[in-house]
Amino acid sequence: MAELVTKADLAATGELLRSEADVLHKESQVLRGELKTVQVLLGSRIDLLESRIDKLGLQLTVRLGAMLAAAVAILAALQKLG
C-alpha cells in the first residue's frame, strides 16, 4: 500500500535537511581550519627534517674527505718505505 505524504511532512523534512546541511557546512569549515594548521605544522617539520638531512650529508662528505686524505697519506708512507 502506498503511503501519502503531506506538504507539512515535506516541509518538515526539507527544514531538517537544511539544518543538517548547515551543521555539516560548519563542521567542514572547522575541519578545513584544522587541516590548514596541520599543513603548517607539517611544513615546519619537513623544513627541519631537510635541514638535518643536509647537515648529515655535509658530515658524511667531511668524513669521506678525511678518509681519503688518510688513505693518500698511508699510500705515500708505504711508497716511501718500499
pLDDT band, residue 1 (cuts 50/70/90)? low
Amino acid letter, residue 37? T
Buried b or exposed e, range 44-62, using 16+ CB within 10 angstroms: eeeeeeeeeeeeeeeeeee
DSSP category for residue 49 = H
Amino acid letter, residue 32? R
pLDDT in tens, 32-81: 999 999 999 999 999 999 999 999 999 999 999 999 999 999 999 999 99
pLDDT in tens, 17-28: 999 999 999 999
pTM (global) more than 0.75: no
Q: How far apart are CA 28 and CA 34, in angstroms?
A: 10
